[in-house]
Amino acid sequence: MTSKLLPAFAAFAMLSIGATMAAPVNYTLPEETAAFKPGPNLEVVQNNCTACHSADYIKTQPQGEKFKKDFWQAEVTKMIKVYGAPIDEADVGKIVEYLSATY
């Protein structure tokens, strides 16, 4: 029994040593080049979306008339249901309205 467990304990020990020797990774994010445009519900968007996204990232999303309200509704819903974004239900419509009118 002991001879069967020895390789498992050895592997665990090696992984533990490797994990303790790993150095933390530091990196610097690039400067933002975009800013949220002024408009109704801007503060709601800043309070909810900037925890995960920059204005740069939001600006890279598809733009144009065909990507307006339905697109942003689907995106906000995805952020909540798939990624677990803690967006209050009362803010969803405000976020969609802002993004639809601004981007």
Domain ranges of the chain: 42-102
- pLDDT tens-digit series, residues 66-81: 668 999 999 999 999 9
CATH class of residue range 42-102: mainly alpha
Looking at residue 79, what is its pLDDT? 96
Give the Cα-Cα-Cα angle 103, 84, 91 (nearest 5 degrees). 50
Burial of 42 by CB count in 10 Å (0-12 exposed, 13-18 middle, 19+ buried)? middle
- pLDDT tens-digit series, residues 50-62: 988 888 888 888 8
Q: Pick from 80, 81, 78, 72: which is nearest to 99 by CA?
A: 72
Query: Looking at residues 21-29, what average pLDDT do you find?
Result: 78
Query: Looking at residues 26-42, what average pLDDT do you find?
Result: 86
Token pair for residue 66? 């065909």
The structure's pTM equals 0.67
Residue 35, pLDDT above cutoff 70: yes
